[in-house]
Amino acid sequence: MAREIPTARPGGAGAALGLLLAALASLPLCSSPALASADSSLVLRVRVQDAIGPASRNFIVRAVDDAESRRAACLVLELDTPGGLDESMRDIVKRILGAAVPVVVYVAPSGSRAASAGFFILQAAHVAAMAPGTNTGAAHPVQMGGGEMDETMAGKVENDAASFVHALAQRRGRNVEWAESAVRESASIAASDALEKRVIDCVAGSLDDLLVQLDGRQVELISGPHTLHTVNARVESHSMNWRDRVLSTIANPNVAYLLLMLGTMGLAMELWNPGAIFPGVVGAIALLLAFFALQVLPVNQAGLLLLVVGVILLLLEIKVTSYGALTIGGVASLTLGSILLFDSPGALSRLSWSIIVPVVVCTTLFFLFVVGAGLRAQRRRPVTGPEGMVGERGRADTALTPAGRVAVHGEYWWARAADAPVAAGEAVVVTAIEEGRRLVVRRST
């Protein structure tokens, strides 16, 4: 509705008052829903085709933030995932539940899946959609690497996950019983059956088809009921930036663990063999990437300390004769540290035994043989050059009273007797080298 603005003669006090009143009158209009929804015909589309982890969490959360700031009609998240980390999944679910714009999770294209953590995200969506030929479910908590939890812990984790998905399905008006069976029985379901059993809200063959089905649908936002208007909407697609793509690769616990151990071995080789350069450069880069990944993974400090202790014990074995005791302790510490390094019950965040065993064996052999050989080489007496002459034996070519000439290694050297004079032809042994490469010798006993 237009507002009538009081007028006054230019140049008077009434003009200033009129301008002030006009500005005040315009404030409600600037914050009105009509103007705030200038991008209401915009549909933001993002795609996640990877395990749910810190990278995908950051990407999805930023996408929701962007959709809210631009007052988009909705955010469409195209999902294809085998599952992922529990912490990352819960962060995504919290952001979707608190979103001020509708979030549509669309399992697509055909052949995709929303398993495990992906099923929870699908159930949290304001609208859950799937393409034909896709499936979802199989949300029973598991451990990475096939590890088994004890019965009590397994029961706690299962009950927690079942209650969580129950609450999500109930809030969105979907099939609570089947959602729980996906957790307790690892049930999985195809798109057509999921629609029939009210596990999802619609099946769409393409994004255009999905937008047509979404138009006019009412969803419940935190601000209240909201009707979607998506027909003829402008679709804007976004993808992960380079930082998220790198993090997505290295934030895998197994990759982060390999980088950590590789970096440790590289720096160790550089420290005990200065000037090698290449091991130091590779080790530094690997450690930096490992630390970048560890800051977003559920790291157990006890596991990290055990890895450090294991490396120290292996280094001590090189210098201390323990008849294998330090080696056994180092291997045990490395193994326990690897098992405990990432600790998140019920999530895909444990190291695989197929990674732990080779890494522990290679690390042990590296420190015992490679680093050990380097240290032994540093302690070995020089065998070439003037320094290599110390300890060598020869004969006095002339009398040393105290200086004269000796023959060592078939060469003649100027020499000085260290203590008592040496007669010509007597056997001598080199004890030191003076400036000017003059030998210091004594009688050989």
Three-class SS of the chain: CCCCCCCCCCCCHHHHHHHHHHHHHHHHHHCCHHHHCCCCCEEEEEEECCCECHHHHHHHHHHHHHHHHCCCCEEEEEECECCECHHHHHHHHHHHHCCCCCEEEEECCCCCEEECHHHHHHHHCCEEEECCCCEEECCCCCCHHHCCCCHHHHHHHHHHHHHHHHHHHHHCCCCHHHHHHHHHCCCEEEHHHHHHCCCCCEECCCHHHHHHHHCCCEEEECCEEEECCCCCCEEEEECCCHHHHHHHHHCCHHHHHHHHHHHHHHHHHHHHCCCCCHHHHHHHHHHHHHHHHHCCCCECHHHHHHHHHHHHHHHHHHHCCCCCHHHHHHHHHHHHHHHHCECCCCCCCCCCHHHHHHHHHHHHHHHHHHHHHHHHHHHCCCCCCHHHHCCCEEEECCCECCEEEEEECCEEEEEEECCCCECCCCEEEEEEEECCCEEEEEECC
Residue 410's pLDDT is what?
80
Tokens of 56: 């995908």
The predicted structure's pLDDT at residue 191: 96
Which pLDDT does position 214 carry in this prediction?
96
Residue 356, domain member (yes or no): yes
**CATH number (domain holding residue 397):** 2.40.50.140
Together in a domain, 346 and 390: no
d(CA 365, CA 359): 10
Is 10 within a domain? no
CA angle (56 as vertex; 53, 60 as ends), nearest 5:
135
Residue 413 lies in domain: 386-443
Shared domain for 235 and 103, answered yes or no, is: yes
List, in sequence order, every residue forming a beta bridge with 393; answer none if it has no partner: 429
Burial class (CB in 10 A: 0-12, 13-18, 19+), 50: buried
Same domain, 44 and 177: yes
**Is residue 41 located within the same domain as residue 113?**
yes
Same domain for 401 and 341: no
25 within domain boundaries: no
CATH code, 189: 3.90.226.10
Q: How many CB atoms lie within 10 A of CB 164?
A: 20
Residue 271 Cα to chain centre, angstroms = 26
The answer to whether position 14 is within a domain reads no
Q: Which residues pair with 137 in a beta bridge?
A: 115, 188
Same domain, 40 and 143: yes
Residue 21 within a domain = no
For residue 371, the model assigns a pLDDT of 62
89, 52 contact by CB (below 8 A): yes
d(CA 300, CA 351): 12
pTM greater than 0.85 (yes/no): no
Please tell me the total count of domains within the chain: 3
Domain assignment present for 13: no
Residue indicated by tokens 């929804």: 37
Residues 263 and 361 in one domain: yes
| Contact between 117 and 165 (Cβ < 8 Å) | no
pLDDT means over runs of 10, the chain (445 residues):
36 42 38 40 92 88 95 96 87 96 96 94 97 93 53 83 95 96 94 96 96 95 93 90 80 86 86 78 91 77 89 80 80 89 57 85 80 56 62 88 88 87 90 82 85
Spatial distance between the Cα atoms of 287 and 267, rounded to a whole number of angstroms: 9
Contact between 39 and 220 (Cβ < 8 Å):
no
**Alpha-carbon torsion 289, 293, 295, 299, what sign?**
negative
Residue 311 and residue 395 in one domain: no
